[in-house]
């Protein structure tokens, strides 16, 4: 239990202490932040290895409301992902933020966000998940509005309005789970609803589930609650990469998995109109996000719409309510996080080193930034689903699960996946072709004659992440078997 406490207290306390330490020297501040972040990831790794089976109650609000932590199989997957990515993201942020102002407040909230996200992975019941889900909105808001200009203020307001609206819908589900669930409402695979309590109220509970699903999926940017995500791309790239690949959006998808499999249960939901809605909304979002990405010319916003699409891959797999669907969902939660953070980091490197923000200005950029664009190409191919890279594994798992579901909306979901794969190739590989084969743009790129690739602080995380994308594509079997065990309720 001490290990569990230390794992989330270290980044929370370490981040909060940063302004008090007055580390004005950039080097000393960077060392401090990197040590705190890396030590937190080491603690998380130790916790994953130990995997205590006991629950830890932080606070009793009432007899039936308690903030309780417990690490199970699903939480371990999410924790492993963020523990791997956060130190790399922090290392990348040092060079990027050297070009920004207010670095100390940035790294304060950036580090504390790590602690809040870890608390979400360890939430032992829906009440705990909801509380820290809301805390995540508050702790990341200063990161979204970091630049403190008009665009950042608009993005922050939109983020807050959507997040609070989604939380209001999710709260309805929490109330009903507390009312009709078993006494402690701790997450249990198969759900916590007491059958004798819900008899005759099935349709009401299905409606509540749909509202709650939409509420939690707001953070996963599911249509029609997606509008905050593209606007959030005005934040510094380390923030947008974290928002769009790990902390916020994956938290929304993770919460939906908890809602379906560990709260309401598939016995109540499977084969109902509520499941049909839970499948069709992500299917619609998958296609919508891909179409908008094709149309969008701002580089980071194009990637943001790609996230809108790909997060609904995870929701679609979860909503199939089969072991194969959940396996595909967990696969894409991990693999998409790796691929998308690389794409955003490439966009950030281009922005910092050349000042270019729009796709049409990237013509000939392979000549100016060969390393950055090479890494972008590898990750783009992976996200398209080209074998043997990691993206192929998760997309194949999702497609086969949708086809095998025997559920008509599931077939529509499979069609959406195929359409999206084609559109993904268009909006990602168009950049590659233009960067490799077009002459240098008339704008900023033509002004640079020397290599504009970033320093090792940005390159090192990209090399590690690309290696992971390749290795997980070639050697994914052990990890997929772990996903299957979680999807079968064995872990």
Q: Which of 466, 285, 287 is nearest to 380 (CA)?
A: 466
pLDDT value for 45 = 95
| Residue entry with tokens 């994308």 | 469
Q: Would you say the C-alpha torsion 460, 246, 31, 46 has a positive or negative sign? A: negative
Whether residue 82 contacts residue 117, with contact meaning beta carbons closer than 8 Å, is answered with yes
**Whole-angstrom Cα Rg for the chain:** 22
Backbone angles phi, psi at 69, to 5 degrees: -110, 140
The one-character DSSP state at 264 is I
Are 341 and 89 spatial neighbours (Cβ–Cβ below 8 Å)? yes
pLDDT tens-digit profile, the chain (491 residues): 789 999 999 999 999 999 888 877 888 888 999 999 999 999 999 999 988 888 888 888 877 788 999 999 999 999 999 999 999 989 888 888 877 778 888 899 999 999 999 999 999 999 999 999 999 999 998 888 887 788 888 888 998 999 999 999 999 999 999 888 876 678 999 888 877 777 788 899 999 999 999 999 999 989 888 888 888 878 787 887 776 667 788 999 999 999 999 999 999 999 999 999 999 999 999 999 999 999 999 999 999 999 999 999 999 999 999 999 999 999 999 999 999 999 999 998 888 888 888 888 888 888 888 999 999 999 999 999 999 999 999 999 999 999 998 888 999 999 999 999 999 999 999 999 998 888 876 666 666 767 788 888 888 999 999 999 999 999 989 999 999 999 998 88
- The C-alpha atoms of residue 448 and residue 355 are separated, in whole angstroms, by 11
Tokens encoding 88: 């790399």
pLDDT for res 288: 96
Asked if residues 236 and 146 have their Cβ atoms less than 8 Å apart, the reply is yes
d(CA 403, CA 395): 12
Look up tokens 């199989």; give the residue.
Answer: 73
Q: In angstroms, rounded to a whole number, what is the distance separating the alpha carbons of residues 101 and 89?
A: 18
* Residues belonging to the chain: 491
C-beta separation of 104 from 29 below 8 A? yes
- Longest CA pairwise span in the chain (Å): 73
Residues 6 or more apart in contact with residue 131 via CB below 8 angstroms: 67
**CB-based contacts of 15, cutoff 8 Å, min separation 6:** 36, 107, 108, 109, 110, 111, 112, 113, 114, 115
Other C-beta atoms closer than 10 Å to the C-beta of 364 total: 18
User: Tokens 């060392």 identify what position?
Assistant: 31
What's the CA dihedral at 87, 306, 154, 24 to 10 degrees? 20
The two three-digit tokens of residue 313, written as one number:
């891959």
In DSSP notation, 50-106 reads H---S-EEEEESSSS-EEEE---HHHHHHHHHHHHHHHHHHHHHHHHHTTSS-HHHH
Query: 191's torsion region: left (phi>0), alpha (psi -120 to 50) or beta?
Result: left
Helices (H) and strands (E) in the chain, counts: 21, 2
DSSP 489: T
């Amino acid at each position: 239990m001490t290990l569990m406490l230390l794992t989330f207290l270290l980044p929370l306390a370490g981040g909060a202490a940063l302004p008090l330490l007055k580390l004005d020297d950039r080097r000393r501040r960077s060392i401090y932040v990197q040590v705190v972040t890396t030590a937190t990831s080491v603690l998380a790794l130790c916790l994953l290895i130990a995997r205590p089976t006991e629950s830890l109650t932080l606070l009793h609000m009432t007899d039936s409301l308690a903030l309780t932590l417990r690490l199970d199989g699903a939480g371990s997957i999410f924790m492993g992902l963020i523990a791997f990515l956060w130190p790399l993201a922090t290392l990348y942020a040092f060079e990027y933020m050297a070009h920004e102002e207010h670095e100390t407040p940035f790294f304060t909230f950036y580090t504390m966000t790590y602690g809040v996200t870890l608390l979400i992975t360890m939430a032992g019941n829906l009440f705990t998940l909801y509380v820290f889900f809301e805390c995540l909105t508050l702790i990341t808001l200063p990161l979204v509005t970091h630049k403190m200009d008009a665009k950042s203020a608009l993005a922050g307001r939109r983020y807050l309005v959507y997040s609070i609206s989604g939380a209001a819908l999710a709260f309805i589900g929490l109330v009903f789970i507390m009312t009709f669930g078993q006494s402690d409402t701790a997450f249990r695979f198969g759900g916590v609803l007491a059958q004798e309590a819900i008899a005759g109220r099935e349709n009401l509970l299905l409606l509540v589930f749909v509202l709650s699903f939409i509420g939690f999926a707001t953070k996963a940017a599911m249509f029609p609650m997606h509008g905050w995500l593209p606007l959030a791309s005005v934040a510094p790239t380390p923030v947008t990469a974290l928002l769009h690949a790990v902390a916020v959006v994956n938290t929304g998808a993770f919460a939906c998995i908890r809602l379906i499999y560990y709260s309401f249960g598939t016995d109540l939901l499977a084969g109902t109109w509520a499941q049909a809605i839970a499948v069709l909304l992500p299917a619609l979002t998958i296609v919508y996000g891909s179409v908008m990405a094709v149309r969008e010319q701002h580089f980071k916003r194009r990637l943001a719409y790609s996230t809108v699409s790909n997060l609904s891959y995870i929701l679609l797999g979860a909503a199939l309510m089969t072991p194969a669907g959940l396996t595909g969902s967990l696969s894409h939660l991990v693999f998409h996080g790796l691929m998308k953070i690389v794409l955003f980091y490439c966009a950030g490197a281009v922005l910092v080193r050349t000042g270019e923000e729009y796709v049409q200005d990237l013509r000939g950029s392979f000549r100016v930034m060969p390393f950055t664009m090479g890494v972008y190409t590898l990750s783009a191919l992976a996200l398209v689903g080209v074998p043997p890279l990691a993206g192929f594994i998760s997309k194949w798992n999702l497609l086969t699960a949708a086809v095998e579901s025997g559920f008509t909306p599931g077939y529509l979901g499979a069609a959406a996946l195929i359409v999206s794969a084609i559109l993904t190739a268009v909006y990602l590989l168009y950049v590659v072709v233009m960067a490799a084969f077009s002459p240098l743009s008339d704008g900023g790129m033509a002004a640079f004659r020397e290599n504009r690739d970033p320093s090792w602080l940005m390159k090192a995380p990209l090399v590690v992440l690309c290696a992971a994308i390749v290795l997980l594509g070639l050697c994914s079997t052990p990890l997929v078997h772990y996903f299957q065990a979680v999807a079968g309720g064995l872990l």
